Amino acid sequence: MTFDYDLFVIGGGSGGVRAARIAAGEYGARVALAEESRMGGTCVIRGCVPKKLMIFASQAEALAAEARGFGWTQATAGLFDWQAFRHKLDGELTRLEGAYTGGLVAANVDIHKARARLADAHTVELSNGQRLTAKHILIAVGGRPQRPGIPGEELGLISDDLFLMEDLPGRVLVVGGGFIACEYATILAGLGSRVTVAYRGDAMLRGFDAEMRRFATEQLRMIGVDLRLETDPARLDRRDGAVRVTFRGGDTDDFDHVMFATGRVPNTAGLGLDDLGVALGPRGQVLVDEWSQSSVPSIFAVGDVTDRVNLTPVAIREGHCFADTVFGARPRKVDHSLFGAAVYTRPHEVASIGLTEEEAGERGPHDVYVASFRPMRSLFAGSDARAVMKLIVEAGGGRVVGCHIFGPEAGEMIQLVAIPMGMGATKAQFDAAIAVHPTLAEELVTMRRPARHIGMGGSDKTVGAA
């Protein structure tokens, strides 16, 4: 059978763009890509990039306060101009969108600005009426924010809406306890909004190391966020120009806006996958094997739509490995067992790779090394904020299997820790590295005595305890 293309990619996010560019540009495949919105997907247009720029903007007042601690007596952040920031942000996102599009054009990928759905295992139908065939089809449509399913939920915003707001809210409720909720609360509080966070758990950042969760939770309080844990909104109503929130338990409060950061789900609705017999999971995710192949042999999927590890660099790696395997005769799989992650809160970030202390304790004996200290820079300026670094090590000085950092630029540090951990480095090899002084990162190679032993078959033992 003759096909219009060797590969048709549905979705112009990081994973889909990488797969298309490598397949066409490096291996000479005939490739087309359809994107119904802006090129770059969630990360570039509605996530990582604009969010990080907003984090930078939100720190101006804190940086001015720090400067005063260093003797700059008239240091001030001045007034924040949301409209000016949005205009500049829009320009930067347009530039990045152009770079993504330019890379595809340079690789000779045909771009279709249209919504796509599958008509059969080799045919894509576009919203403009075109029908195109391909030997292979790659689903890379990512995920979408979900609402909590309560009465009046339509009165709330989703995470995407932060970048489209005409004005900053005076008072805002952020609902959720994950990294998006933490980062959005940090941003809005730093830009001057009065922020409340409602989360049904007892600490933020479910899934992270418990010690890091405690510090992240307290830091939100420290920057002025009103944390309401172990509660959830039960309904939303419009009330005199505001949104009235009724919480579980009956309490009510009014806000200018309510923003739901209650998770994301794979964006598979309306793609026609059910009709083709493509196996989907309970959240609507495309079920794939280790080669990113679905239950229909010609259809593959990468990125958040598979609900494996929902991080942009993982989607990029999956897309690249798919192209290498299918078009480059270089079979490659993605190891999803070890990946770094960072939560860009301020003043301190949370970053993690490998096992948490709780996970390690369930697997057997491990040693936990912890350094807790007040960083020199913020200490001198008058801050009481503490940084914490933790290494999880196989008992007896074996491999480092987990690293967790709460501190300034933790994300930058965890990226470098990922290299030795990926190579199976031992605690002795960490110790052999000569420290760079004075730095925060030197603590990672100067912890000589474990704080406690875990997974011992009984009560965990704290070193030095009676």
> Is residue 407 a known part of a binding site?
no
110 is known to lie in a ligand binding site = no
Measured in whole angstroms, how far is the alpha carbon of residue 377 from the centre of its chain? 28
Query: Is 178 among the annotated ligand-binding positions?
Result: yes
Residue 176 labeled ligand binder: yes
User: Residue 142, annotated ligand binder?
Assistant: no
Complete DSSP assignment for 44-71: IIISHHHHHHHHHHHTHHHHHHHHHHTT
Q: Is 187 within any annotated ligand binding site?
A: no
> Which of the residues are catalytic?
437
d(CA 437, CA 115): 54
Whether residue 289 is annotated as binding a ligand: the answer is no
Q: What span, in angstroms and rounded, lies between the C-alpha atoms of 104 and 19?
A: 10
Annotated binding-site residue? 263: yes
Token pair recorded at residue 238: 């419009």
Taken in order 314, 319, 325, 329, the sign of the CA dihedral is negative
* CA nearest to 116, candidates 16, 216, 192, 197: 16
CA distances, 393 to each of 83, 356, 461, 463 (Å): 49, 11, 15, 15
13 annotated as belonging to a binding site for a ligand: no
Strands (E), 148-295: 157-158, 171-175, 194-199, 226-229, 233-239, 242-247, 252-255, 257-260, 264-266
CA end-to-end span of the chain, whole Å? Answer: 76
User: Is 180 a known ligand-binding residue?
Assistant: yes
Angle at 226 between CA 222 and CA 228, to 5 degrees: 120
182 is in an annotated binding site: yes
Among 358, 356, 306, residue whose Cα is nearest residue 138: 306
Provide the annotated binding site for FAD: 52, 304
Provide the annotated binding site: 52, 176-183, 263, 304
Provide the annotated binding site for NAD(+): 176-183, 263
